[in-house]
């Protein structure tokens, strides 16, 4: 598929046909080239990158989806909502087979240096927040290859960011933040019924490790933009992704210090 065709599917929410899937790059390097070409098209039409998403950081779901390493994609000013409160609404119009994921989102104050350590990354983070990412798949039934998930813009559809907390009010060092977030647990519920649970350590041993992984991957990917001051990064789901329908009410009860967040799904 051409970048223009990939973008058209993102805009309309229509799945890829079998014939189209056969034209998607079979290797990750080709898939990232396609995703970066789609990124360039979106910038050219006026969208602004807001940061990045990291997918498949949760090793407990690798076997289920047949993807055994993290991927990354772009988050946009048109796909992110800063809730500012523990309650909000997420629209799923033109999303293709959308699912929801509870995650931790970081906001960067400064650009990470090349080869940044966990401690150096901690020094670059301004805030963190619990959030929900809505992910989607243009491959029917969520059956895909790793390369297809990359070409599909990292499966990103929407991001809702809950209340922000200054990171230095939570920890004085990267090691302390890593330990604290790793121990946090979450229960994901739909319409009052618990459906999944997880913990921070499931995400590549902790969200700060996921951010560290992304910095390295961006440096290794030809043509990939680096992280910049002001970027946000959503670091991967703490539980399996669950299908969405309009009218549902979702709650992610994170342990302290994150707290609970809730969203209603709109058409």
Whether pTM exceeds 0.95? yes
* Beta partners for residue 99, in sequence order: 135, 243
**Residue 234: enclosing H or E segment and its boundaries?**
strand 232-234
Give the residue among 38, 15, 47 at the shortest CA–CA distance from 142. Answer: 15
Give the residue among 141, 118, 133 at the shortest CA–CA distance from 16. Answer: 141
Domain locations in the chain? Answer: 3-266
The two counts, helices (H) then strands (E), for the chain are 8, 14
Report, as an integer, the average pLDDT of 235-251.
Answer: 98
Q: What pLDDT is attached to residue 136? A: 98
pLDDT digits (tens, 9 = 90+) for 175-228: 999 999 999 999 999 999 999 999 999 999 999 999 999 999 999 999 999 999
Q: How confident is the model at residue 133 (pLDDT cuts 50, 70, 90)?
A: very high
Three-point CA angle 42, 45, 50, nearest 5°:
50
pLDDT digits (tens, 9 = 90+) for 36-95: 999 999 999 999 999 999 999 999 999 999 999 999 999 999 999 999 999 999 999 999
Q: How many CA atoms lie within 13 A of 13 on its CB side?
A: 11
Order of strands, sheet of 185-190, starting from the edge strand that comes earlier in the sequence? 87-91, 260-266, 249-254, 185-190, 193-199
Top CATH class of 3-266 equals alpha beta
Report, as an integer, the average pLDDT of 240-259.
Answer: 98
The bridge status of strand 49-55 relative to strand 80-82 is unpaired
Q: What pLDDT is attached to residue 78? A: 98
Report CA-CA distances (Å) from 101 to 126, 161, 190, 215, 222.
Answer: 23, 12, 12, 22, 29
What is the end-to-end Cα distance of the chain in Å, rounded? Answer: 28
What distance in Å separates the CA atoms of residue 115 and residue 87, rounded to the nearest whole number?
37
For all residues of the chain together, what is the average pLDDT? Answer: 97
pLDDT digits (tens, 9 = 90+) for 88-114: 999 999 999 999 999 999 999 999 999
């Amino acid at each position: 598929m051409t970048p223009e065709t990939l973008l058209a599917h993102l805009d309309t929410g229509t799945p890829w046909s079998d014939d189209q899937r056969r034209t998607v790059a079979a290797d990750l390097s080709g898939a990232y080239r396609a995703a970066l070409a789609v990124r360039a098209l979106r910038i050219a039409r006026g969208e602004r990158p807001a940061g990045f998403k990291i997918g498949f950081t949760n090793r407990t779901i690798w076997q289920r989806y047949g993807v055994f390493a993290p991927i990354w994609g772009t988050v946009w000013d048109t796909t992110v909502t800063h809730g500012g409160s523990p309650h909000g609404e997420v629209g799923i119009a033109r999303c293709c087979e959308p699912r929801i994921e509870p995650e931790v989102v970081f906001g960067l104050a400064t650009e990470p240096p090349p080869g940044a350590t966990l401690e150096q990354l901690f020094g670059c983070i301004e805030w963190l927040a619990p959030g929900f990412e809505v992910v989607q798949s243009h491959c029917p039934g969520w059956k895909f290859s790793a390369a297809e998930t990359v070409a599909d813009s990292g499966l990103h559809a929407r991001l809702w960011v809950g209340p922000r907390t200054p990171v230095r009010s939570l920890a004085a060092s990267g090691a302390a933040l890593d330990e604290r977030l790793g121990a946090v647990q979450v229960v994901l519920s739909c319409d009052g019924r618990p459906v999944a649970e997880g913990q921070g350590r499931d995400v590549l041993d902790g969200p700060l490790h996921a951010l560290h992984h992304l910095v390295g991957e961006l440096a290794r990917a030809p043509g990939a933009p680096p992280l910049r001051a002001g970027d946000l990064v959503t670091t991967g789901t703490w539980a399996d992704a669950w299908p969405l329908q309009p009218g549902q009410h979702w709650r992610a009860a994170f342990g302290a210090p994150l707290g609970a967040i809730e969203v209603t799904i709109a058409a």
